[in-house]
Amino acid sequence: MPDSSSRSRRLDRRYVNALREIGLAIASVILALAVGAVLLYAAGYSIEDAYFNLYYGAFGDMYSISDTLLNSIPLIFTGLAVAFAFRSGLFNIGAEGQMYVGALATAVAALHAPTEFSPFVIVFALICGALAGALWGFIPGFLRARTGAHEVITTIMTNYIAILFTTYLVKVSFSDGGPVDQTALIPQTARLPELIATTRLTWAIFIAVGLVAVVHFLLTRTVFGYEIDAVGQNPGAAQYGGIPVSNRTVFAMAVSGAIAGLAGSTMVLGVLHRFITYFSPGYGYTGLAVAVLARNQPWAVVPAALLFGALQSGGMSMQLFARIPADLMTVVQGLVILFVSAPGVIRFLGRTVSFRTWFQRIQSPTSSSAGKGASK
Amino acid sequence: MEWVEAIFSVGTLSATLRLATPIALAAMAGTISERAGIVNLGLEGKILGGAFLGVYVAFLTGSAWLGVAASVVGGMLMGGLLALFAIRFRANHVVAGVGLNILMLGLTTWLMQVIWGSRGTSATVSGLSDWSIPILRDIPYVGPVIGKHSPLVYIMLLLAPILWLWLFRTPSGLRVRMIGEHPEAADTVGIRVHRTQYLCMIAAGALAALGGAHLALGHLSWFSNNMSAGRGYMALAANIFGRWNPIGGALAAMLFALTDAMQMRIQSTQIAWPTELVQMLPYLLTITVVAGAVKRSRSPAALGRHYEPGKAE
């Protein structure tokens, strides 16, 4: 590579690389929405009607925007959780289950807090949620480190177990006695303060963004973060370099679980005000799409979560007003994951649609990181 | 001990075979693709897609067997698609597989509402009628368990040894295993690595979708939202527990199915065990099995790697 010598040139390339990543992410989303349009057309719906309602439901008015933000908050947590685990080379599909146990622990803590001092109750409930999530993430992390059990299989199983187990606990110990399996409402002192009246938006959004900053700091400015990245990029080299790989694996999964647990905590303290069985529309799984789209960069999780939050609220309005099932947005999610996982697809399409020169210009000469092996 | 009787009755064992079929077929799919070096996490989506296509075509044509054929063709397409992403576009196998699963979950749930207007279950179609095998059904004790089943159960039971023979006793099976262990060496002796991988993934897609067809047309006769319920992931666990061997995978699938049959059995009797805890059994067993099995088994050496022809390591 003749041009990598001067410093300004290198900065240039980093800039170009970042732009390229963003370009690929945007292209993936557009491509996924385009496939969605084909499906709409094939099923006989009006594409215009569908996507207008999708847009309007996501950004159309203040109510839509606040709904989008509201949907994005749990996705910031779950996306961040998945991204963090991914940095250490682990694919945590268990965010959904970690969120459920976090939510139940938070609800129970809020109901049984030893004091009525609001900040204490909230912090106490959040910590309980994070710890429960951490425990739920610790189990697959420990099994991976100790026995080599693939975390994708074990975390899927811990999801099913978490949902069944929390349902069981609510039925047996924490039910409010009504027809729905749910806990009693948590006291006013335990609820997160409203941010803007009548929008259901709470301080949870600051907790989410604050946590992104903390994780960013952890990953870029601390030894622990460096080690996590080293383990994720090359466990063999990390081991050789003296990093206790299995220890970091367990720790990364526990932290990831704690972050996902907070998704449940803030849902309970900010939105639901109680634990309700089967409350999640799949925030944990959407978190996968968020993390993949964000390329596991903590700050990029925020816009990615906003995008999927927007698709969720837009999808609901599409279902309501255009009578098109909102599950189309799950299709879009799956497609985004597929396209982002294989940047080659976008480049291939770019070439065939003869954007060739444009793509060559923004494509760096080294294209090595296309994909590392999955399991060991 | 009424629960012991309930669990080990003829009914439970017969149900075990029926419930094992989709997991076993998907486990064989996992074995073939992983022996060729490709991690196949898309099994869940292929089961789901196969189940949906089978019901839809049976719904349109009134023929369950045409539905099964459609499942197989659809499975081949899904397998080919995932192979395209994993091989041609060099996607991380795990991420792409999970992407396919989410895609198929969304697509089937969406189409179900578009076609049948319900998010829960599809219309009921005519399923596959059971086969009653003349000699088998007359064997004492064993007869009631294996004598009468949906055809795909027998196909599964036949496929396990056939695939074993192919993988471990034929030259082409050896070539596949060589790719999973050392693609460079395979390439050197003239094996077309990528072409073989595509073929294996397409075959695996057909097998997993056949499992879906059994779920929707053999076991039940309708499609329901997310009806695979983690079986694709259990199948991968079964494949690992069975040490990347079709027969081992099928046996492991039967172990999972036994717990599933037991939990269904317990729920249908008067035994007052908490439903949720009993339903957790298959999932708990899967975790235990993967955690216990991996240490003693070894995956194909080049599993999950991208192979570029003509590039030395």
Mean pLDDT for A36-65 is 92
Is the Cβ of A331 closer than 8 Å to some Cβ of chain B? yes
Let me know: does A257 contact A81? Beta carbons within 8 Å.
yes
**CB pair distance less than 8 Å for A330 and B100:** no
- The tens digit of pLDDT for each residue in B196-206 reads 999 999 999 99
Residue B1: pLDDT band with limits 50, 70, 90: low
Is the Cβ of A345 closer than 8 Å to some Cβ of chain B? yes
Residue A8, pLDDT > 90, answer no
For residues A311 and B263, the model is more confident at A311
In the chain, the amino acid numbered B279 is Q
Taking the CA of residue A374 and the nearest CA in chain B, the distance in Å comes to 5
Chain A residues with CB under 8 Å of B111 CB are 43
Q: Collapsing DSSP states into helix, strand and coil, what is residue B224?
A: strand
**CB pair distance less than 8 Å for A370 and B90:** yes
Quick one: tokens of A126? 């959040």
Taking the CA of residue B107 and the nearest CA in chain A, the distance in Å comes to 6
Q: What is the pLDDT of residue A23?
A: 87
Closest Cα partner for A154 from A249, A34, A40, A39? A249
Residue A284: pLDDT band with limits 50, 70, 90: very high
Residue A47: CB partners within 8 Å, gap ≥ 6?
A: A37, A40, A41
Residue A19: pLDDT band with limits 50, 70, 90: confident
Is the Cβ of A171 closer than 8 Å to some Cβ of chain B? yes
Residue B126: CB partners within 8 Å, gap ≥ 6?
A: B58, B62, B63, B64, B221
**CB pair distance less than 8 Å for A91 and B110:** no
Chain B residues with CB under 8 Å of A157 CB are 230, 233, 283-284, 286-287
Of the candidates B90, B292, B305, which has its C-beta nearest A342's C-beta?
Answer: B90
Residue A371, pLDDT > 60, answer no
Q: What is the pLDDT of residue A367?
A: 44
- The tens digit of pLDDT for each residue in B135-183 reads 887 887 777 888 888 999 999 999 999 999 999 999 999 999 999 999 9
Taking the CA of residue B103 and the nearest CA in chain A, the distance in Å comes to 4
Let me know: does B153 contact B130? Beta carbons within 8 Å.
no
Mean pLDDT for A94-105 is 97
Length of chain A: 376
**CB pair distance less than 8 Å for B274 and A152:** no
Residue B35: pLDDT band with limits 50, 70, 90: very high
Residue A4: pLDDT band with limits 50, 70, 90: very low
Of the candidates A147, A329, A330, which has its C-beta nearest B294's C-beta?
Answer: A147
Residue A179, pLDDT > 90, answer no
- The tens digit of pLDDT for each residue in B274-286 reads 888 888 988 998 8
Calculate what percentage of chain A has a pLDDT beyond 90.
62
Nearest CA in chain A to B273: A168
Closest Cα partner for A245 from A258, A233, A234, A235? A235
Let me know: does A257 contact A98? Beta carbons within 8 Å.
yes
- The tens digit of pLDDT for each residue in B181-196 reads 999 999 888 899 999 9
Residue A235, pLDDT > 80, answer yes
Q: What is the pLDDT of residue B269?
A: 75
Q: How far is CA B117 from the centre of its chain?
A: 28
Q: What is the pLDDT of residue A370?
A: 40
- The tens digit of pLDDT for each residue in B101-138 reads 999 999 999 999 999 988 888 888 888 888 888 888 78
H-helix or E-strand containing B131? strand B131-132
Let me know: does B262 contact B214? Beta carbons within 8 Å.
no
Mean pLDDT for A192-212 is 89
Q: What is the pLDDT of residue A45?
A: 92
For residues B270 and B208, the model is more confident at B208
Q: What is the pLDDT of residue A357?
A: 53
**CB pair distance less than 8 Å for B103 and A165:** no
Residue B68, pLDDT > 50, answer yes
A216-A222-A224-A229 Cα dihedral, nearest 10 degrees: 60
Is the Cβ of A330 closer than 8 Å to some Cβ of chain B? yes
Residue-averaged pLDDT of chain B? 89
Residue A175: pLDDT band with limits 50, 70, 90: confident
Residue B99: pLDDT band with limits 50, 70, 90: very high
Residue B51, pLDDT > 60, answer yes
Quick one: tokens of B34? 């992983």
Is the Cβ of A85 closer than 8 Å to some Cβ of chain B? no
Taking the CA of residue B118 and the nearest CA in chain A, the distance in Å comes to 10
Which of 234-253 (A) contact B at CB < 8 A? none
Residue A374: pLDDT band with limits 50, 70, 90: very low
Q: Name the DSSP class of A202.
A: B
Taking the CA of residue A119 and the nearest CA in chain B, the distance in Å comes to 35
Residue A376, pLDDT > 90, answer no
How many contiguous H segments (helices) and E segments (strands) does chain A have? 15, 0
Q: What is the pLDDT of residue B304?
A: 82
Nearest CA in chain B to A154: B287
Q: What is the pLDDT of residue A369?
A: 41
Is the Cβ of A318 closer than 8 Å to some Cβ of chain B? no
**CB pair distance less than 8 Å for A330 and B106:** yes
H-helix or E-strand containing A359? helix A356-362
**Dist CA A142 CA A149 (whole Å):** 9
Residue B75: CB partners within 8 Å, gap ≥ 6?
A: B46, B49, B50, B205, B206, B207, B208, B209, B210, B212
Residue A22, pLDDT > 60, answer yes
Calculate what percentage of chain B has a pLDDT beyond 90.
56
Which of 259-298 (B) contact A at CB < 8 A? 274, 276-277, 279-280, 283-284, 286-287, 290-292, 294-295
Is the Cβ of A143 closer than 8 Å to some Cβ of chain B? yes
CB pairs under 8 A between A and B: 180
Quick one: tokens of A179? 């027809």
For residues B91 and A346, the model is more confident at B91
Q: What is the pLDDT of residue A269?
A: 95
**Dist CA A173 CA A171 (whole Å):** 6
Phi/psi of residue A3, each to 5°? -105, 15
Of the candidates B88, B274, B306, which has its C-beta nearest A168's C-beta?
Answer: B274
Residue A6: pLDDT band with limits 50, 70, 90: low
Residue B264: pLDDT band with limits 50, 70, 90: confident
Residue A66: pLDDT band with limits 50, 70, 90: very high
Nearest CA in chain A to B81: A338
- In a mutagenesis test of the B interface, which of A101, A160, A335, A352 is the best target, namely the one with the most B β-carbons within 10 Å? A160
**CB pair distance less than 8 Å for A337 and B277:** no
**CB pair distance less than 8 Å for A374 and B92:** yes
Let me know: does A346 contact A339? Beta carbons within 8 Å.
yes
- The tens digit of pLDDT for each residue in B290-299 reads 888 766 667 8
Mean pLDDT for A143-158 is 89
Residue A237, pLDDT > 80, answer yes
In the chain, the amino acid numbered A165 is F
Closest Cα partner for A127 from A106, A108, A101, A96? A106
Give the number of other Cβ atoms within 10 Å of residue A51's Cβ.
Answer: 18
